[in-house]
Amino acid sequence: MSLISFLNDLFKEDGFELVDSNSKKYVIGNPKKEKPIVIKLLDQKLMQKLLINPDLYFGEAYMDGSLVIQNGTLTEFLDLAFKNIGRGDKFLWLGNKKNKRDFQISYKF
C-alpha cells in the first residue's frame, strides 16, 4: 500500500494537499478550503517512513525541516488528522460520558 492510498482511505472529512520530494501534488480527501493545508515532503524516503511509523517520523520530519506545512499550522493539520482518525472529540477520554460535568461527578478521588 502506498502512503497516498492509505491517506485517501483515512481522510473522509475535509482534506489537504501533499507534495512529494519530486514536486508531484496529490489531493488527499476532499479539501473544503479554497487554499487547503499543504504538506510538503522534502525527503524522498519520507513517503515510506510515514507509512511505516507515522507517529515517529511525522514529528521528526517536521522538526528537522524535511516536512513543511503551508497554508496552515501544525495544530490545524493535527486537528484535521484527529477528526479523521476518530480523535476529534475533545472529551474522548471521558469514554461514554456525555460531557465533562458527568465525568467530574462520577469520578471520585
**Are 42 and 67 spatial neighbours (Cβ–Cβ below 8 Å)?**
yes
pLDDT at 87: 55
Distance CA 6, CA 54 (A): 12
pLDDT digit string (tens) for 33-78? 999 999 999 999 999 999 999 999 999 999 999 999 999 999 999 9
Pick from 26-30, 44-48, 67-71, 104-108: least confident: 104-108
Question: Parallel, antiparallel, or unpaired: how do β-strands 25-29 and 67-70 relate?
Answer: unpaired
Has domain 3-106 been given CATH number 3.30.1050?
Answer: yes
Average pLDDT of the chain to the nearest whole number: 84
pTM over 0.85: no
More confident residue, 55 or 91: 55
- Cell numbers given for 8: 485517501
Tell which wins on pLDDT, 61 or 107: 61
Q: Break the chain into its structural domains and give their ranges.
A: 3-106
Q: Residue 100 has what pLDDT?
A: 46
Higher pLDDT, 102 or 6: 6
